[in-house]
């Protein structure tokens, strides 16, 4: 039997899951019912990069040199290889080596 605290915890997880699902499904439903103009399509193509920058830059501002160097090397790997997995692996290996042996 669930205690009161566990029941609240379980209910909050279920409600957050439902909110996330319906937010994403609603967006997909709306975009499937309209034909986006070239301007809207261009905007939507740039949204992932904007979100990524909005997440990464504030984190880099409060971290140390190992994170900054790793981010620069990861960005360079992404530009040169155009391979997401290889870029992620490059960043993970770089930050691991820098944290373990240098900083």
Domain spans in the chain, listed from the N-terminal domain onward: 1-34, 38-103
Alpha carbon 29 to its chain centroid, in Å, reads: 22
| Distance (Å, whole) CA 75 – CA 90 | 10
Dump pLDDT digits (tens) for 20-62. 999 999 988 988 898 888 998 898 888 888 888 888 888 888 8
Residue 95's CB is within 10 A of a number of other CB atoms, namely: 19
* Residue for token pair 């992932």: 48
Residues 6+ apart with CB under 8 A from 78: 84, 87
Model-level pTM?
Answer: 0.56
């Amino acid at each position: 039997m669930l205690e009161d605290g566990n029941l609240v915890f379980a209910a909050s997880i279920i409600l957050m899951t439902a909110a996330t699902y319906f937010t994403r499904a609603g967006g997909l439903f709306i975009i499937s019912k309209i034909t986006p103009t070239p301007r809207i399509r261009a905007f939507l193509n740039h949204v992932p990069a904007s979100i990524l920058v909005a997440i990464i830059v504030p984190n880099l501002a409060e971290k140390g040199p190992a994170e900054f160097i790793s981010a620069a090397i990861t960005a360079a790997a992404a530009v040169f290889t155009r391979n997401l997995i290889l870029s992620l692996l490059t960043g993970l290996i770089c930050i691991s080596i820098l944290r373990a042996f240098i900083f």
